Amino acid sequence: DYSCHAQSSPGCILRWHRSIMHSLMTTHLFLFIYGASASWNVDTKQHGRQGRHLDLDIDLPSPDSTKMRNESTGVFVFAAQFTGSTSMTQLLMSANIATQCRNKKWACEEFRAWTPGTDVKGRLFTLAKYWENDFENHQAFLIRKLGVPNEWVREDDNSVFKHIIENRPLPLVFAKHGIREFKPHVILLWQPHCLHERLSTHATSLSVEDHKRIHLMFLDTMMFLKRRDIDFTVVNYGDLLYKPDKVATQLSKIPGLGKVDFDFVPTIGKDIYPENEFKTQGSVAEFAARVKPMMKNYNAELGACNPSGDVHFDKLERNLGDASNM
């Protein structure tokens, strides 16, 4: 039930967008690009936030106080499948983000590092394992993308990240690796429909109805984040290609994130590993230069595709475009 759809006005999005300026005494970032779920036990309400708390029942050493941070910023990338999340990941790597790439799994996706059926405790240990050596030297931590929709947005009680975000205190395994508290920030990366098949080697053909469904999910997700008072930034993937300065300005508002570099190329053995089979070749800027000549139906100045012939669908894309201009 997409109530934004019922409101059907450009202002629908504009009312949801929040100011994302925060001043933090000490800030680190870790980026979540996620989609898996697992079960937690219900037992507590913590620090004004209602939610479920997982008692890991694990004997852990006390956190090293020299590694603790006052507050971190956890960055989550929400994107539909094959709509530019790899390019966004590479761009964020340039801003000193620590990734899960040391797991040496395809596309640095953390869920591939555990076997099917692994419980929540095992998943958390896996995540922390690949953060351990990077925490002191990086401002951000990458896991993987949350598809749109995802278990968290659906308010599924079995969503791992529902509990990481909404429960306090954080699981002990996080504190063991220096993550005592964080504030979430979501990047909503949407893609105008006319760019889809041109920009991913894994893309499949989608109808206008498919794109309409995806866009409505983004609108629903914006409402979900607004209800939870979670900061978010809406990025048009077309802007990532045509207006890098605009996107750099948008991302600069995320607390603790370093300056992004569109000319950045990941280094094998440092940023990525051969086993990751990372899709991109070269920098985001080089990729943009290669694909822009093929974008015949995209109006870069307006940040929108040429009219599709479906008035309602075109209005949905305009609404997302308006949100990307905030």
In whole angstroms, give the CA distance from residue 87 to residue 90: 5
The two structure tokens encoding residue 273: 């590993």
**pLDDT tens digits, residue range 143-191?**
555 666 677 777 776 676 776 777 777 777 777 766 777 778 889 999 9
Q: Which residues of the chain have pLDDT under 50?
A: 1-27, 34-69
CA 131 from chain centre, in angstroms, equals 17
**pLDDT tens digits, residue range 97-122?**
777 788 888 877 777 887 888 877 77
The total of structural domains in the chain comes to 1
- What values do phi and psi take at 160, rounded to 5? -55, -50
Which domain covers residue 25, as residue numbers? 3-324
Q: Global pTM? A: 0.75
Q: 102: which DSSP letter?
A: G
Tell me the β-bridge partners of 74.
Answer: 30, 184
Element (H, E) at 72: strand 71-79
Q: pLDDT value at position 135?
A: 54
Please choose, from the candidates 271, 16, 36, the residue with its C-alpha nearest in 3D space to the C-alpha of residue 138. Answer: 271
Inter-residue contact 188 to 218 (CB < 8 Å): yes
Detail the DSSP E strand segments found in 191-280: 231-236
Inter-residue contact 123 to 38 (CB < 8 Å): yes
